[in-house]
Amino acid sequence: MAKMNEEKTWKCGKCNEELKKKKTLFEYMGHKFSHEVPTCPKCGKVFISKELAEGRMAEVEEQLEDK
């Protein structure tokens, strides 16, 4: 039996709705970038993972330092 990729499903704690990945535009330190983040289809709450916060935001900081 093939094992499926274990994909973590996130749920909104408030609505108990399964989160859907949605492209969201972020602004951080004057830089804009879009990233697919889990979003609640009901209340629109966006869940930012630690990975995104540390990965993309650090990237933006690096870009700023290059200039």
Q: How far is the CB of 15 from Zn ion (least distance, A)?
A: 3
Of 45, 37, 39, whose CA–CA distance to 19 is shortest?
A: 39
Please state the φ and ψ torsions of residue 61, each to the nearest 5 degrees. -65, -40
Q: How far is CA 51 from CA 14, 47, 54, 57, 59, in A?
A: 23, 11, 5, 10, 12
Q: How far is the CB of 27 from Zn ion (least distance, A)?
A: 22
Q: How far is the CB of 1 from Zn ion (least distance, A)?
A: 34
Judged by beta carbon, residue 12 or residue 60, the one nearer Zn ion is 12
For residues 8-67, which are near Zn ion according to CB under 5 A?
A: 12, 14-15, 40, 42-43, 45
Under the rule (CB under 5 A), what is the footprint of Zn ion? 12, 14-15, 40, 42-43, 45
